[in-house]
Structure 1
Amino acid sequence: MKRRCIMKDINITDIKEKLDKNIKKNQNLKGKVKLATKVFENAIEGIVITDKNAFIEWANPAFTKITGYTVEEVIGKKPSILKSNKHNKDFYKKMWHALINEGKWAGEIWNRRRNGEAYPEWLTIMAVKDEYGNTTKYISVFNDLTKLKRNEDDLNYKTYYDALTDLPNRLLYTDRLKDSIHIAKENDNKVAVMFLDIDDFKKVNEGLGHIIGDVLLKKVAERLNSVVKKGNTVARMSGDEFMILCPSYKNEQSIINEVNKILKVFNDPFDVEEHKVYITASIGISLYPEDGVDSNTLIKNAHSAMYKSKEYSGKKYTWYRPNMNKKAEERLILENDMQYALINEEFSLYYQPKVDSKTNKIVSLEALIRWNHPTKGMISPGAFIPVAEESGFILLLGEWILKKACKDIKEINEKVKSKITVSVNLSAKQFESNNILNTVDLAIDDAKIKPNLLDLEVTETTAMKNERNAFNIMNELKNRGMSLSIDDFGTGYSSLNYLKRVPSNTIKIDKSFIDNIAIKKCDATIVKSLITMCHSLGKNVVAEGVETKEQLEMLKEFGCNQIQGYIYAPPLPLEEIKEMIIKQE
């Protein structure tokens, strides 16, 4: 009896332990199920579980958020309700082949939301198999790629399109040109490349501001896009430079027709805010295969031709010719050499005296730039000044000339008793820059001279451009104590009324009027009348380019105040002109 009781106790204990283990196991299993459910419900990925026949049994909240379908709407249906029709049968055939043979498929797929919107997703499908290897369910996990695709599109747009004008940029233009060359090579076609540059666009930015300039560029882009032939590409390269690609054309006349359409858009003014802006453009054209067989060469050659258009007055487009590159290379070398010349002190100032017609004494000097190149020797100002003007280097060079002339005139005045002034030519770009007043002030302060020792010469043509602005600057300079001269007077189209209004101290009569006064009565009459008028307006008169005694005597007789020219001296280095002034005293 006792033995049986003990056996029963042992059995009960074993059973209890087993029950405890099972309870714990069930609790762990429930915990895992609960955890798995929580993960599924809170996952940002959409999750769908189907049976072996692909009928939906369950979906998580993320599925609803992404697709717009509730779980109740899709249970018992197949995932094909999401089908976008963007993929063909072969796509789905390959998907099922992978699932059946490998138990897994992953890839990018386009599906459709409940609202009809197609969207991209990254989908992974896994087959769930039992212990016998039979598929019992499929689990699908997917991520919505819409935002990622949008970011990719934005990045792609920023890479290939110009942010200001929405036109293709240099990179996309070059890609399209390469494709066009490849196609043309296979089909024996021809390709045309046009390089367009807006003339004097910098003046728009300086005069009206960069915001107006940007709006103008957008309007130019719109007009260009509206007139080019369908299939041609308009691109913005940089700044005010545009390019047009004609991937195929019949003959040169068809290109001329396209160019004329493009140039015509500049006939009418551009309405930019309250301004009506008139601009022109210059175009260079290169052709495949005649002018190059690769994109870089064709673009470079069209660029060279465009610059040639700017040189030809009134001609707005130019075909590329082989000798243009040589000139472009020479120009580039000259631009680089000028930069080095300024650093290496290859530039110097020569001075030509202006002589008082009554006392025959030097009263002023005109500063003239000279360049002694280490290998080419003396380079004529006529060869490098226009290049400096076009490239913008004239601003740096002009600043150097101002500073050097102010220091030199201080040195001269310290050696002599009489007051000697110096005249410095202001280039059109200098005069039109926003910084001209500051540049002049710094030169005077740096040399520690009085402003009345400096005379600034501006050509008649420069002073007539944007008259109101020009006169404001001239008055500001006069108010600072400097004197102003109108250079090359008579070569422009100024009127007597203009002569009356221009705020200058001095008028310089151009050499072209002086040359024939001794042999042509009409020229002598013009010069005499001009001197008389200037005096009546309280202006000093200087005659330029005086070379003969006859010219000198007539000018003295007409009452010309100062004489400048080879009759007295050519432009001389500082030491020689200094010695000349000292000797006269």
Structure 2
Amino acid sequence: MKRRCIMKDSDIMKIKEKLDKNIKKNQNLKGKVKLATKVFENAIEGIVITDKNAFIEWANPAFTKITGYTVKEAIGEKPSILKSNKHNKDFYKKMWDALINEGKWAGEIWNRRRSGEAYPEWLTIMAVKDEYGNTTKYISVFNDLTKLKRNEDDLNYKTYYDALTGLPNRLLYTDRLKDSIHIAKENDNKLAVMFLDIDDFKKVNEGLGHIIGDVLLKKVAKRLNSVVKKGNTVARMSGDEFMIMCPNYKNEQAIINEVNKILKVFNDPFDVEEHKVYITASIGISLYPEDGTDSNLLIKNAHSAMYKSKEYSGKKYTWYRPNMNKKAEERLVLENDMQDALINEEFSLYYQPKVDSKTNKIVSLEALIRWNHPTKGMISPGAFIPVAEESGFILLLGEWILKKACKDIKEINKKVKSKITVSVNLSAKQFESDNILNTVDLAINNAEIKTNLLDLEVTETTAMKNERNAFKIMNEMKKRGMTLSIDDFGTGYSSLNYLKRVPSNTIKIDKSFIDNIAIKKCDATIVKSLITMCHSLGKNVVAEGVETKEQLEMLKEFGCNQIQGYIYAPPLPLEEIKEMIIKQE
């Protein structure tokens, strides 16, 4: 009896051990189920479970978030409630063939939310099979690709479209041009390429600011896009440069008609904030296959033709001709020659006097660059200064001018009793350079002259560009003892308020205002009023480009402080100007 009891205790112990194991196993299973449920509920991917007939049995919260359907609404329905109708029957047949034969399918598909919005998703469907290989359920996992697609579209847009105007950019234009050339070649068609550049756009940027300039470019783009023939492409290449492509044109007259439509958009002013801005444009045209059979050559030749349009006053479009590329080659030679000229001392300074209107004595000189080329002779500053500015060589050349002018004025003042000052023009690039103050200081220190002998001339448009920074530099120069002149006053977009604020000692009235004061009453009134206003603000006034006795007498009558122009003397070499000053004493 006792033995049987012991056996029973042993059996009980075994049973207990088995029970403990089962309890532990169940606990582990419950933990796994709990974990799986947590993953299911918190997954960012939408998850749908269907039976073997594809009726929805369950879905997670992400399904609701993505599709808009609640789980309650989805249960008992088929996934076809999400169908977007963007795919044909063949698409879905291939999907089911893969599920039946391979047990899974994955790919990009468009579905439709409860709101009716179609959206892209990446969908993976897996068939769940029993031990006999029969499908019992399907599990679908999907990601909403809307944001990714939007980012891809944004990236694609930024790659191929201009951010400011929304027009195709250089890359897209070139791609389309290549495609059009290929089509034209296959079909024996013609193709025209136009290169459009806004005339003197730099003055708008400098006078009204880059923000106004950007708004103007947008308006130009909009007008151009509205007038070109359907099928033609308008693109923004860079800055103020646009291109138009006209595929499959009938004859040259058709191109002329298109050009005239384009130029007509510039007839009316552009309303930009409170400004009415009048601008013009120059166009160059190249033709396929006559002027080139590849995209780069056609663009290059249209560009050369556009520059020819700018050379001819009043001519707004020019057809490309083979000799036009010669101009570009000449420009490159000129750039190289300028570098050599500085080393070989081919540059010199001429000086034009500024005469006191009351004493008729020279009180100041303006330093003007001259270039005596060893083979080409004297080259006009109008020919090489713009090239120097565009290439950046103006920084080196400007530094040389400053140093030479300071040395020359020291030499002149040694010969005379009265103080003679020298004016040096600062280009926009010089004035905006980070080391302009150091460059000026170095020139003065090397020449060992007093700072009040140097007057620095800055054009009105340069002084107005980035006004805050410009005024800061000008005030620093004045603190050092130099004087400052605003050159070409009246040619920009300055206001009376600007005249009051600008920290200059002198205002130089542009020659364009002086030319007609003796024959046009309105011009005389403007000049007289400007002189009076400058005097009331404590500013000195210089009239430049004075050529006749009538102009001189009127300017004296108006109270203009100094006169500069051929009425007294043209720009002269150093030795001649020295003699002229010595004689007056």
Which TM-score band applies after superposition, normalised by the shorter structure? 0.7 to 0.9
Structure 2 SS opposite 1:77: coil
Q: Say whether the 8 Å CA contact 1:219–1:270 is kept in structure 2.
A: yes
Q: What is the CA–CA distance in structure 2 between the aligned matches of 1:348 and 1:518, rounded to whole Å?
A: 35
Taking a change above 3 Å as real, the CA distance of residues 373 and 40 of structure 1, as seen in their structure-2 partners, is farther
Give, in angstroms, the shift of residue 222 of structure 1: 1.1
Taking a change above 3 Å as real, the CA distance of residues 505 and 118 of structure 1, as seen in their structure-2 partners, is closer
Q: Say whether the 8 Å CA contact 2:206–2:462 is kept in structure 1.
A: no
Per mean C-alpha deviation after superposition, the further-off stretch among 160-169 and 557-566 is 557-566
Taking a change above 3 Å as real, the CA distance of residues 343 and 214 of structure 1, as seen in their structure-2 partners, is farther
Per mean C-alpha deviation after superposition, the further-off stretch among 214-223 and 416-425 is 416-425
Q: Say whether the 8 Å CA contact 2:207–2:461 is kept in structure 1.
A: no
Matched, 1:115 2:95: no
Q: Say whether the 8 Å CA contact 1:122–1:143 is kept in structure 2.
A: yes
Q: What is the CA–CA distance in structure 1 between the aligned matches of 2:536 and 2:36, rounded to whole Å?
A: 104
Per mean C-alpha deviation after superposition, the further-off stretch among 495-504 and 274-283 is 495-504
Taking a change above 3 Å as real, the CA distance of residues 141 and 344 of structure 1, as seen in their structure-2 partners, is farther
Structure 2 SS opposite 1:48: strand
Give, in angstroms, the shift of residue 34 of structure 1: 1.2
Taking a change above 3 Å as real, the CA distance of residues 7 and 215 of structure 1, as seen in their structure-2 partners, is same
Q: What is the CA–CA distance in structure 2 between the aligned matches of 1:48 and 1:16, rounded to whole Å?
A: 41
Q: Say whether the 8 Å CA contact 2:207–2:465 is kept in structure 1.
A: no
Q: Which residue of 2 aligns with 1:209?
A: 209
Give, in angstroms, the shift of residue 440 of structure 1: 9.1
Give, in angstroms, the shift of residue 144 of structure 1: 0.6
Q: What is the CA–CA distance in structure 2 between the aligned matches of 1:104 and 1:498, rounded to whole Å?
A: 74
Taking a change above 3 Å as real, the CA distance of residues 208 and 443 of structure 1, as seen in their structure-2 partners, is farther
Q: What is the CA–CA distance in structure 1 between the aligned matches of 2:553 and 2:78, rounded to whole Å?
A: 111
Alignment: residue pair count: 585
Give, in angstroms, the shift of residue 369 of structure 1: 2.4
Q: Say whether the 8 Å CA contact 2:455–2:483 is kept in structure 1.
A: yes
Q: What is the CA–CA distance in structure 1 between the aligned matches of 2:524 and 2:505, rounded to whole Å?
A: 23
Q: Say whether the 8 Å CA contact 2:105–2:124 is kept in structure 1.
A: yes
Taking a change above 3 Å as real, the CA distance of residues 107 and 341 of structure 1, as seen in their structure-2 partners, is farther
Give, in angstroms, the shift of residue 493 of structure 1: 20
Q: Say whether the 8 Å CA contact 2:531–2:558 is kept in structure 1.
A: yes
Give, in angstroms, the shift of residue 109 of structure 1: 0.7
Q: Say whether the 8 Å CA contact 1:206–1:433 is kept in structure 2.
A: no
- Larger Cα-atom Rg: 1
RMSD of the TM alignment (CA)?
7.6
Structure 1 SS opposite 2:29: helix
Per mean C-alpha deviation after superposition, the further-off stretch among 369-378 and 125-134 is 369-378
Q: What is the CA–CA distance in structure 2 between the aligned matches of 1:276 and 1:528, rounded to whole Å?
A: 26
Per mean C-alpha deviation after superposition, the further-off stretch among 343-352 and 304-313 is 343-352
Structure 2 SS opposite 1:189: coil
Give, in angstroms, the shift of residue 133 of structure 1: 2.0
Taking a change above 3 Å as real, the CA distance of residues 219 and 433 of structure 1, as seen in their structure-2 partners, is farther
Q: What is the CA–CA distance in structure 2 between the aligned matches of 1:68 and 1:431, rounded to whole Å?
A: 62
Q: Say whether the 8 Å CA contact 2:120–2:146 is kept in structure 1.
A: yes
Q: Say whether the 8 Å CA contact 1:206–1:434 is kept in structure 2.
A: no
Give, in angstroms, the shift of residue 478 of structure 1: 14
Q: Which residue of 1 aligns with 2:339?
A: 339
Structure 1 SS opposite 2:106: strand
1:499-550 CA-partner distances (Å, limit 9, x unpaired): 9999999999999999999999999999999999999999999999999999
Per mean C-alpha deviation after superposition, the further-off stretch among 252-261 and 482-491 is 482-491
Give, in angstroms, the shift of residue 155 of structure 1: 1.6
Q: What is the CA–CA distance in structure 2 between the aligned matches of 1:435 and 1:337, rounded to whole Å?
A: 26
Q: What is the CA–CA distance in structure 2 between the aligned matches of 1:118 and 1:496, rounded to whole Å?
A: 59
TM-score normalized by the length of structure 1: 0.74
Structure 2 SS opposite 1:414: helix
Taking a change above 3 Å as real, the CA distance of residues 344 and 177 of structure 1, as seen in their structure-2 partners, is farther
Q: Which residue of 2 aligns with 1:143?
A: 143
Per mean C-alpha deviation after superposition, the further-off stretch among 10-19 and 250-259 is 10-19
1:118-175 CA-partner distances (Å, limit 9, x unpaired): 0011111111122222221111100111111111111222222222211111122112
Q: What is the CA–CA distance in structure 1 between the aligned matches of 2:541 and 2:116, rounded to whole Å?
A: 84
1:451-509 CA-partner distances (Å, limit 9, x unpaired): 88678999999999999999999999999999999999999999999999999999999
Structure 2 SS opposite 1:367: strand
Q: Which residue of 2 aligns with 1:561?
A: 561
Per mean C-alpha deviation after superposition, the further-off stretch among 531-540 and 230-239 is 531-540
Give ranges in structure 1 of 5+ residues lacking alignment: none
Taking a change above 3 Å as real, the CA distance of residues 432 and 208 of structure 1, as seen in their structure-2 partners, is farther
Taking a change above 3 Å as real, the CA distance of residues 444 and 63 of structure 1, as seen in their structure-2 partners, is same
Give, in angstroms, the shift of residue 206 of structure 1: 1.5
Give, in angstroms, the shift of residue 31 of structure 1: 1.2
Q: What is the CA–CA distance in structure 2 between the aligned matches of 1:55 and 1:275, rounded to whole Å?
A: 67
Give, in angstroms, the shift of residue 42 of structure 1: 0.8
Q: Say whether the 8 Å CA contact 1:301–1:325 is kept in structure 2.
A: yes
1:324-359 CA-partner distances (Å, limit 9, x unpaired): 112112213423543675588653325689999999
Taking a change above 3 Å as real, the CA distance of residues 469 and 264 of structure 1, as seen in their structure-2 partners, is farther
Give, in angstroms, the shift of residue 103 of structure 1: 1.4
Q: Say whether the 8 Å CA contact 1:47–1:63 is kept in structure 2.
A: yes
Taking a change above 3 Å as real, the CA distance of residues 228 and 399 of structure 1, as seen in their structure-2 partners, is farther
Structure 2 SS opposite 1:53: coil
1:252-300 CA-partner distances (Å, limit 9, x unpaired): 1111111101110110111111111111111111112221222221111
1:81-122 CA-partner distances (Å, limit 9, x unpaired): 111111112211221222222211111110000111000111
Q: What is the CA–CA distance in structure 1 between the aligned matches of 2:498 and 2:196, rounded to whole Å?
A: 36
Amino-acid identity (%): 95
Q: What is the CA–CA distance in structure 2 between the aligned matches of 1:70 and 1:40, rounded to whole Å?
A: 15
Q: What is the CA–CA distance in structure 2 between the aligned matches of 1:70 and 1:490, rounded to whole Å?
A: 71
Taking a change above 3 Å as real, the CA distance of residues 531 and 5 of structure 1, as seen in their structure-2 partners, is closer
Per mean C-alpha deviation after superposition, the further-off stretch among 458-467 and 447-456 is 458-467
Give, in angstroms, the shift of residue 2 of structure 1: 4.0
Q: What is the CA–CA distance in structure 2 between the aligned matches of 1:7 and 1:496, rounded to whole Å?
A: 118
Give, in angstroms, the shift of residue 49 of structure 1: 0.8
1:178-205 CA-partner distances (Å, limit 9, x unpaired): 2211222222222211111111111111
Per mean C-alpha deviation after superposition, the further-off stretch among 303-312 and 7-16 is 7-16
Q: What is the CA–CA distance in structure 1 between the aligned matches of 2:75 and 2:511, rounded to whole Å?
A: 99
Taking a change above 3 Å as real, the CA distance of residues 283 and 336 of structure 1, as seen in their structure-2 partners, is farther
Taking a change above 3 Å as real, the CA distance of residues 177 and 374 of structure 1, as seen in their structure-2 partners, is same
Q: Which residue of 2 aligns with 1:303?
A: 303
Structure 2 SS opposite 1:40: helix
Taking a change above 3 Å as real, the CA distance of residues 493 and 50 of structure 1, as seen in their structure-2 partners, is closer
Q: What is the CA–CA distance in structure 2 between the aligned matches of 1:559 and 1:90, rounded to whole Å?
A: 91
Give, in angstroms, the shift of residue 14 of structure 1: 2.0
Q: What is the CA–CA distance in structure 1 between the aligned matches of 2:301 and 2:2, rounded to whole Å?
A: 116
Taking a change above 3 Å as real, the CA distance of residues 509 and 225 of structure 1, as seen in their structure-2 partners, is closer
Structure 2 SS opposite 1:353: strand
1:531-573 CA-partner distances (Å, limit 9, x unpaired): 9999999999999999999999999999999999999999887
Taking a change above 3 Å as real, the CA distance of residues 336 and 99 of structure 1, as seen in their structure-2 partners, is farther
Structure 1 SS opposite 2:415: coil
Structure 2 SS opposite 1:493: coil
Taking a change above 3 Å as real, the CA distance of residues 222 and 441 of structure 1, as seen in their structure-2 partners, is farther
